[in-house]
Amino acid sequence: NSAVFDAKNLRVKLVLLGDSGVGKSCIVLRFVRGQFDPTSKVTVGASFLSQTIALQDSTTVKFEIWDTAGQERYAALAPLYYRGAAASVIVYDITSIESFHKAQYWVKELQKHGNPGIVMALVGNKADLQENRTVSAGDASEYADKNGMFFIETSAKTADNINQLFEASTLNGLTELL
């Protein structure tokens, strides 16, 4: 008798939202290709990439990642990308308080118009720029808790916490959702 392994293969539509320049595209590039390109181009409209990870219990998770532009003039397009998304990663830059406020706008938008039960992660990127920090991890963490979000600080530049972001956002709720 051959053993039957009950491996699950999950597919997750994930959308990245946040102000232009906070590092969304760099986070995706780091996660998917393991690279950081300091001369990366501004995203026009949105771009799509996918990446599959294996969890400890042999479940695989294929992320279908929609990386949005973030500029005001594309804001009306955002629902096209977050509609039907099981997970969202809302990014701000720890050196920009404006970008943290913009992240809160996206949280409210998803609470109003996103998938009920959408998993939301709040991400403070550019954690390598500690000396220019204007958003405290404590404030962001408290805000995330209040809104039932997973919170993590990352650096696409140094790769710090990038894999953890995707793994943890999966484990924190997604597996139940699917």
Residues in contact with ligand GDP by CB under 6 A are 18, 20-26, 38, 40, 43, 70, 125-126, 128-129, 155-157
70 or 114, CB closer to ligand GDP? Answer: 70
In the bound state with Mg ion, the residue whose beta carbon lies nearer, of 125 and 170, is 125
Among 25, 155, 169, 170, binds Mg ion (CB under 5 A): 25
Is 43 near Mg ion (CB under 5 A)? yes
**Is there a contact between 154 and 160 (Cβ–Cβ < 8 Å)?**
yes
Does position 161 interact with Mg ion (CB under 5 A)? The reply is no
- Residue 10 or 110 with smaller CB distance to ligand GDP: 110
68 is a site residue for Mg ion (CB under 5 A): no
The least CB distance from residue 47 to Mg ion, in Å, is 7
Closer residue to ligand GDP, CB minimum distance, 21 or 51: 21
Comparing CB distances to ligand GDP, the nearer of 155 and 169 is: 155
Shortest distance in whole angstroms from residue 137 CB to Mg ion: 24
Classify residue 96 as exposed, middle or buried by CB count within 10 Å of its CB (0-12, 13-18, 19+): buried
Q: How far is the CB of 145 from Mg ion (least distance, A)?
A: 28
Instruction: Summarize as ranges the residues that interact with Mg ion (CB under 5 A).
Output: 24-25, 43
